[in-house]
Chains A and B, each alone.
Chain A
Amino acid sequence: MGYPKLEGDLEPKYRFYKHNAEKVISELGAKGLLEQLRRMLLIRNFELRGEAAYQHGKVGGFYHSYMGQEAIQVGCVAASGVSHWYTTTYRCHALAMLLGATPNEMMAELYGKATGNAKGMGGSMHMYADRLLGGLAIVGGHVPIATGAAFSIKYLKQKGLASFCFMGDGAVVQGAVHESLNLAQLWELPCLYVVENNKWGMGTSIERALAIDPIAENLAKAYGMKSYTFDGMDFFNCYAGFKEALNEVLKTSKPVLIECVCERFRGHSISDPGLYRTKEELQRTMERDPILLLKQTLIEHGMLTEEQFKEMDKEAREVMIAAMKFAEESPWPDVMTLERGVYADG
């Protein structure tokens, strides 16, 4: 296949999971693959529209775009299904949508409206679904929560379920992460810890923050865990890798540590112009746009035409424009209700 390779010295550093793309293609078929592409386009268009709304002053707070990393969570959910527990960071829009949150409720949450995903209480960084525990925005602080979900699965003897915990490379140095890895391995909890290594903790490169590199391979050793490294820009690698890793966790009831090497196309958040990366670096990165890579493969396999792709992108855009309209027209939360929900009933 004609994928551009990872640039420079990256390749020898990471030992990527070896997948068979043809096997994934026959497994998912044209219909399944087009659905994954559609999901990636929905996420991409949600982020584009969310950012636009932000620029127009419709959205406040912090806004962390998932653009560029779509292959990871799309691949994960396609391979694993939506019945597991999931937990992620403030960069949570993609996962919320993949786990069932609608573009309308998510856009309304960005706008702070009563119809929002969290009724306007959470905002961009705190989105949820029935199996998504958040949208949690203290770096590393959500990792024990995901570990607790794995604990529940084991305690309740729920066969075939696991807990997925996404975190950034910046979180890896937090104590909460190390404590979680130790507990999960010690107690044999079915948890998949997924480090999305986009190489930057805000504006600090991993070289300046982490004493180890690669992350998963080195860190997993310290806790006697199995590790995987995926090419986070390649849907096929992520899909096949997550499938294998989940099987391993379900078979052994032990956690695994996964590193997805990727790049974000935007700054850390919307207010970050990303001056620490050169234009050339970013351009090179965007040549490996996960959406374009998947599109290219589908075209090569006669499953998609350029025209159809444009149509899919247009449809996704229209969904998001409609979501913006929904959000715009939705009512503000009633200020009389602002003190409700601090406590659960009972």
Chain B
Amino acid sequence: MQTVEIREALRQAIDEEMARDSRVFIMGEEVAEYNGAYKVTKGLLDKWGPERVIDTPICENGFAGLAIGAAQTGLRPIVEFMSWNFSFVAADQLISNACKAHYMSGGRFSVPVVFRGPNGAAAQVSCQHSHNVEAIYGNLPGFIIIAPSNAYDHKGLLKSAIRCNNPVIFLENELCYGDKMEIPTEEYLVPIGKAKVIREGKHVTIVSYSRMLKFCKEAADELAKQGISCEIIDLRTIKPLDIATVAESVRKTHRCVLVEEGHVFAGISAEVGFQVMEHCFDDLDAPLQRVCSRETPLPYSKPLEKETLPNKERILFALQEVLR
């Protein structure tokens, strides 16, 4: 076993897959000589050289499209977006090309590319740098969307993503890159499309993913003091959604709260919640509750930022509502 930060888990995944397959390379802004804006790619340039660890100019539309074209013609690119907010500059490439090429060509061309980088809020980076993109890209058939919460899953899922023959949206979090965890030294994979029950409980199911799980655990700890046990599910993969794991839990607890960093309207919770209704309508003892970002751009000011995002208090309030 080894104790690693999430950034190191990601680096190991990239490094191992580059060793395994010479068609794998990584490109993005500052990934090579600067060693990555968040040091995920630290040391990779020295090890693999500039042909496979490639600094790009600041032109997301250009290099994202280039990577898609490279994927269609025999390579397996990993593209780092310094922030997923910048993916909007490349939205046409992701939306019109990456997720449509296989279907539109009648199955002739596949697009094995991974787009990865930090998603969501960081430390007061304000309105334009705090977006959660999963609901936007999740609305488009053709993408795989992965949002892990810990070092073990980051490594295992990124390795699976790199081996996947479809375009993958791989969502990390700037505030979590330093989170440590003990993971195996030997190679392992985590399968795409499998959620995980990370805490068993019997009174209510909490469904979440990525950084929000921290607040879910805090809220669950609080309720545990009152003798209420929460079952917490880490979706890990958002698309394809492992609704079976969610439904199994809800059938047991009969109550469900969905927690998501993104916005309320047409968010991931709206989708998961609807599917819970489809699968578990007769099992529910209370209406679903969801905790999401409020319907504003993310404000800069610290107290405003905290109240805009889901937090322990807001999750507790929702839990108390469904447990009433």
A149 touches B73 (CB 8 A): yes
| Given contacts A141-B97, A155-B75, A148 and B65 within 8 Å (CB-CB) | yes
Stretch at the interface among B37-45, B54-62, B202-210, B290-298: B54-62
Is A85 in the interface zone, CB < 8 Å from B? yes
B72 touches A148 (CB 8 A): yes
A85: chain B residues at CB < 8 Å are 73
Is B110 in the interface zone, CB < 8 Å from A? yes
- Shortest B211–chain A CB gap in Å is 28
Is A344 in the interface zone, CB < 8 Å from B? yes
B73 touches A117 (CB 8 A): no
Q: Indicate which residue in B68, B96, B107 contacts A148 across the interface (CB closer than 8 Å).
A: B68
Q: How far is the CA of A151 from the CA of B105 in the complex (A)?
A: 21
B74 touches A179 (CB 8 A): no
A342 touches B102 (CB 8 A): yes
Is A160 in the interface zone, CB < 8 Å from B? no
B105: chain A residues at CB < 8 Å are 118, 121-122, 126, 128, 134-135
| Given contacts A155-B51, A183-B59, A134 and B104 within 8 Å (CB-CB) | yes
A144 touches B66 (CB 8 A): yes
Is B32 in the interface zone, CB < 8 Å from A? no
Q: How far is the CA of A182 from the CA of B62 in the complex (A)?
A: 9
Task: Please name the residue on chain A nearest to B73 by beta carbon.
Answer: A152
B57 touches A182 (CB 8 A): yes
A151 touches B66 (CB 8 A): yes
Q: How far is the CA of A12 from the CA of B25 in the complex (A)?
A: 47
Is A260 in the interface zone, CB < 8 Å from B? no
Task: Please name the residue on chain B nearest to A114 by beta carbon.
Answer: B106
A126 touches B62 (CB 8 A): no
Is A146 in the interface zone, CB < 8 Å from B? yes
> Which residues of chain B from 71 to 116 have any CB-CB distance to chain A below 8 Å in the complex?
71-75, 92-93, 96-97, 101-112
Is B322 in the interface zone, CB < 8 Å from A? no
Task: Please name the residue on chain A nearest to B113 by beta carbon.
Answer: A148
Task: Please name the residue on chain B nearest to A152 by beta carbon.
Answer: B73
Q: Digit string of A122-158 for contact with B (CB within 8 Å is 1, else 0)? A: 1000101010011110100111111111011101100
Task: Please name the residue on chain A nearest to B54 by beta carbon.
Answer: A187
A118 touches B108 (CB 8 A): yes
Is A346 in the interface zone, CB < 8 Å from B? yes
Q: Indicate which residue in A121, A149, A346 contacts B165 across the interface (CB closer than 8 Å).
A: A346
B65 touches A152 (CB 8 A): no
Is A4 in the interface zone, CB < 8 Å from B? no
B92 touches A145 (CB 8 A): no
B62 touches A341 (CB 8 A): no
Is B277 in the interface zone, CB < 8 Å from A? no
B57 touches A148 (CB 8 A): no
Q: How far is the CA of A344 from the CA of B166 in the complex (A)?
A: 6
Task: Please name the residue on chain A nearest to B60 by beta carbon.
Answer: A179
A148 touches B71 (CB 8 A): yes
> Which residues of chain B from 8 to 26 have any CB-CB distance to chain A below 8 Å in the complex?
25
Q: How far is the CA of A149 from the CA of B141 in the complex (A)?
A: 24
Is A10 in the interface zone, CB < 8 Å from B? no
Q: How far is the CA of A134 from the CA of B101 in the complex (A)?
A: 9
A341 touches B70 (CB 8 A): no
Is A49 in the interface zone, CB < 8 Å from B? no
Task: Please name the residue on chain A nearest to B164 by beta carbon.
Answer: A346
Q: How far is the CA of A141 from the CA of B94 in the complex (A)?
A: 10
A180 touches B65 (CB 8 A): yes
> Which residues of chain A from 29 to 78 have any CB-CB distance to chain B below 8 Å in the complex?
none
B107 touches A341 (CB 8 A): yes
Q: How far is the CA of A116 from the CA of B104 in the complex (A)?
A: 12
A155 touches B70 (CB 8 A): yes
B74 touches A119 (CB 8 A): no
- Shortest B194–chain A CB gap in Å is 16
Q: Digit string of A151-177 for contact with B (CB within 8 Å is 1, else 0)? A: 111011000000000000000000110
A148 touches B108 (CB 8 A): no
Is B191 in the interface zone, CB < 8 Å from A? no
Q: How far is the CA of A109 from the CA of B74 in the complex (A)?
A: 26
B64: chain A residues at CB < 8 Å are 144
- Shortest A6–chain B CB gap in Å is 34
A183 touches B66 (CB 8 A): yes
Q: Digit string of B138-168 for contact with A (CB within 8 Å is 1, else 0)? A: 0001101000000000000000000111100
| Given contacts A144-B93, A145-B68, A122 and B73 within 8 Å (CB-CB) | no
B106 touches A141 (CB 8 A): no
Q: How far is the CA of A53 from the CA of B97 in the complex (A)?
A: 29
Q: How far is the CA of A189 from the CA of B317 in the complex (A)?
A: 57
A128 touches B73 (CB 8 A): no
A344 touches B165 (CB 8 A): yes
A144 touches B65 (CB 8 A): yes
B66 touches A147 (CB 8 A): yes
- Shortest A120–chain B CB gap in Å is 8
- Shortest A163–chain B CB gap in Å is 8
Task: Please name the residue on chain A nearest to B72 by beta carbon.
Answer: A133
Is B67 in the interface zone, CB < 8 Å from A? yes
> Which residues of chain A from 196 to 217 have any CB-CB distance to chain B below 8 Å in the complex?
none
Contact residues of B with A, CB < 8 Å? 25, 51, 56-57, 59, 61-75, 92-93, 96-97, 101-112, 141-142, 144, 163-166
Show 28 residue pairs from A and B whose CB-CB distance is below 8 angstroms, ordered by the A residue: A118-B104, A118-B105, A118-B106, A126-B105, A128-B105, A128-B106, A136-B96, A138-B96, A141-B65, A141-B97, A144-B93, A147-B66, A147-B69, A148-B65, A148-B68, A148-B73, A149-B73, A151-B66, A152-B69, A152-B75, A155-B51, A155-B70, A176-B65, A180-B62, A183-B63, A341-B103, A342-B142, A346-B165
Q: Which 6 interchain pairs have the tightest Cβ spacing?
A: A148-B69, A144-B65, A179-B62, A344-B110, A118-B106, A119-B106
Contact residues of A with B, CB < 8 Å? 85, 87, 116-122, 126, 128, 130, 133-136, 138, 141-149, 151-153, 155-156, 175-176, 179-180, 182-183, 186, 341-346
Given contacts A144-B62, A179-B61, 5 further A-B contacts (CB under 8 A): A116-B106, A119-B107, A128-B109, A147-B65, A183-B62
